[in-house]
Structure 1
């Protein structure tokens, strides 16, 4: 635990962890809330420790959401685990390179991808609302999901993190033709794997504030459980609305960092 952290700052971080767990369970992108909160609340802490502590909290809420979804949502566990193993490998690689990341280069690329995602979702009203056709998924589609949602997005999660869940949801709908609720459920299983990979690397590098991460994890756990139950109850339309909102907020945050932040 940082020795000079105030009770007020700690309380705000706990609220951010609670909200991040809810957002992450519904559609992903909880890091959009918790990671900036940690950066603002703990300006004296090195970035590597912020990233590691964020993962130590996020993995608990994501795991709780995944368990809730597994009990009630129609998830193909075999496909989810295949993508998850690839995502774990990708996140290990991303976390390894996180210390040398140049955000000035990556930020515009991420913004371009988010703009494409937003346009795709907005101009296709039926995106993620139709139930996929029954029957086995082709090997080509599963392989594409392993490469894109697994290795690709897994690497991004270990490298930076915020928005990973939203990217996973969109990728799974686009590649495997899932509905948004099933995609969110599958994304949680994959996201648990990316968090395990990234947290393992951060732990090996000794860049995790475990006491603070453990406290934030409790609030993230509550948020994740509540968010998953709401997504299951309210359906694809609710998830779609939250997805659009998260992508817009993430775009605004990245644009501010790019052009206005000191």
Structure 2
């Protein structure tokens, strides 16, 4: 592992804790954790930041997934299918991570996120409660394609905002409330993190010692965030979603035009 000061380690661990909380509530912890790793190791290849981020994130996401599974109306069969497909798709995305063209990808992500924010604001009841409508086989297949393949591939490729994209797609396609969608998204996110981590680990682009320390803080943040989301309900998750989407857009805009 490269030389790193104690101050930097402490700051990265605090960033990991906050990222775990954000991920557990609505997703998007990579917005904080990935830039923190890039800043902490400015001379290291970006793939090391991506790989270490996955090694840290999978711990907090796993804790959150278990907490949600015990306390929400999660459909375990659907979540398992999505996670299995996501594992493979995210691994495929990780294989192409070194070829990412940020100049093209970031503006596209910003447009999508702005559309998401506008839609959630325009539809104030979006995701606040389940619609009760029957989920058809066609919609389940669409969810597998969008969340299990498309969003998962993106997570392996670059990552930030994955949980947010998963929650939005599950609410829109399967008519879930925000809390149930967030619970399902956590299980899927475990699959995406594991798929990408296997690829980055095999390539040797994970700082395992640093990741182990940060993982403990990420798990604590994930546990706290999941319990808060379950206790406060879908309205709280929706509010955090809007904050995270806004922060994602601002962060991407800064990276694109001012950094």
Which TM-score band (shorter chain)? over 0.9
Equivalence for 1:129 = 128
Residue 250 (structure 2) aligns with: 252
Maintained 8 Å contact 1:118/1:244: yes
Structure 1 stretches (4+) deviating beyond 4 angstroms? Answer: none
Aligned residue for 1:90?
89
1:17-40 C-alpha deviation (Å, 9 max, x unpaired): 000000000000000111111111
Q: Give the CA deviation at 1:134.
A: 6.6
Q: In structure 2, what is the equivalent of residue 232 of structure 1?
A: 230
**What are the equivalent positions in structure 2 for 1:133-152 lying under 5 Å apart?**
133=132, 137-152=135-150
Checking the alignment, whether the CA contact within 8 Å between 2:93 and 2:155 is kept in structure 1 is: yes
State the partner residue of 1:173: 171
C-alpha separation in 2, matches of 1:134 and 1:80: 19
**Secondary structure of residue in 1 paired with 2:94:** helix
Q: Give the whole-Å Cα distance in 2 for the aligned partners of 1:102 and 1:182.
A: 34
In the superposition, the TM-score normalised over structure 1's length comes to 0.97
Shift of 1:203: 0.8
Structure 2 CA distance for aligned equivalents of residues 101 and 80 of structure 1: 29
Q: 8 Å contact 2:133–2:175 — kept in the other structure?
A: no
Q: Is the 8 A contact 1:63 1:189 kept in 2?
A: yes
Q: Is the 8 A contact 1:173 1:179 kept in 2?
A: yes
Task: Output one character per residue of 1:59-90: Cα deviation in whole Å (capped at 9) or x when no partner.
Answer: 00000000000001100011111111221121
Query: 1:181-239: CA deviations, max 9, x gaps?
Result: 00000000000000010000101111111000111100000000000000000001110
| Structure 1 residue matching 2:96: 3-state secondary structure | helix
Q: Flag structure 1 segments of 5+ consecutive residues without an equivalent.
A: none
Checking the alignment, whether the CA contact within 8 Å between 1:86 and 1:147 is kept in structure 2 is no
2:158 counterpart residue number: 160
**Structure 2 counterparts to residues 6-155 of structure 1, below 5 A:** 6-133=5-132, 137-155=135-153
Q: When the two structures are aligned, how many residues end up with a matched partner?
A: 259
Per-residue deviation, 1:131: 2.3
2:196 corresponds in structure 1 to 198
- Give 5+ residue unaligned stretches, structure 2: none
Note the aligned Cα RMSD (angstroms).
0.9
Instruction: State the shift of 1:120 in Å.
Output: 0.8
CA distance in 2, matches of 1:93, 1:103: 18
Paired with 1:233 and 1:6, the residues of 2 have a C-alpha distance of: 38
Whether the 8 Å contact between 2:90 and 2:192 is mirrored in structure 1 is: yes
